[in-house]
Amino acid sequence: MRVALDSRFLLPHPEGFSRFTREVGRRLVQYHPEITFDFLTDHKLDPKFHFGPNQHTHLLFPPNRHWTLYEVWWRFAVPWYVRKYRPSVFFLTYGQTPIDLSRKVPMVAFIHDVGFARHPEFITRGWYSYYMRAVGKAIHTAKLLIANSLSVKQDLLELFGAEESRIRIAYSGCDVDFFHPLSEAEIQAIREQYAEGHPYVLYVGSLHRRKNPLRALQAYERLRSEYFTEPLRFIVVGRFLFGKMREVEDWYHRMRFRAEVSFLSYLSDPQLHKLYGAAAVVFYPSLYEGFGSPVAEGLAVGVPVVTSRVSSLPEVGGEAAFYANPYDVEDIARALYQALTLSPQERHHRAQLGRRHVMQFSWDRCVQEIWNALQEAAGE
């Protein structure tokens, strides 16, 4: 059996698709040494991403970081690979293919989210058009679909008319051994390093309109102006996507509590774990998510999490998280205040509840569901 998988986003920075590809790809290769895995990429992979002797990397041109080049890669390079190597099944790691490969190879598509279809206002016209073609083609031609949550499954049924019989569920993983609670000494050391020794609210995620960064800043301002007077800081970890958002920058420069806000870009996984573990609250007010890893990771380290009452986020947060209407700045500020003012006993209870809840989001379980689907699609 020969399995092809799209590994273009297997990049050094451990975020989003990169982390997913690393965790899934490594386990597939190492758990199934009898299978040949072809990693299709558009760039030279770092040697640390070679997971075993049964992994073969195929560098297909052109390098692509824009939808126009995605199209070229799929329409010319991928069909050439399929004709030459004849894989048993193709794993669409990111749920995209703008061409129909189904007559040449059965496909399994992992659908992380369909935010572009649910909220087209948050994306440029060119990217929207590409995603509608590429993800739409994957949804309608793949033998099996794997949804990242029950919420994504419902989106597939409602927005794309996908057949329910073709949909499987596999939540993304959260490594609860890696994302574990910190000691009091560790917490204080991290706060000294990043927040002048003060408690802080932590936001982790790209600065994209769908992630709601403007209301996040506005809610923090409301919290500090009306509710919470103790020393506090707000740390934002992420990078701007689809260009800088003028409204976020303008609001930031007008903030009364601007000096309390700091922006960080790339952090290693160990650094990110420390920042999570020392936070007073992990804050993720997104408007739409297929899964929402920062919610799971915040709960895993035993920190109160404030997130949105929309899409998949209640699935990931369970009974442990605090929820708010992400369109209502006052409601978000209220939820932040509630999380910040927990008694030690309540905080301990939430931490225990959250750790138990995220135990279900195992990378091993995710990969097992993917492997089952690959075997089923390949007729093994």
The CA radius of gyration of the chain, in Å to the nearest whole number, is 21
- Structural domains in the chain, CATH included, are 2-173+362-378 (3.40.50.2000), 184-358 (3.40.50.2000)
- Residue 162 token pair: 């996908």
pLDDT at position 16 is 84
The model's pTM is 0.94
pLDDT at position 244 is 57
- Tens of pLDDT along 287-312? 999 999 999 999 999 999 999 999 99
Bond before 53 cis per omega within 30 degrees? no
Confidence band of 14 (pLDDT split at 50, 70, 90): low
Q: How far is the CA of 47 from the CAs of 12, 26, 37, 57, 105, in angstroms?
A: 11, 13, 16, 11, 29
283: three-class secondary structure by DSSP: strand
pLDDT at 101 over 60: yes
Cβ-contact 329, 350 below 8 angstroms: no
pLDDT mean across residues, the chain: 95
pLDDT at 35 over 80: yes
Q: What is the largest CA-CA distance in the chain?
A: 66
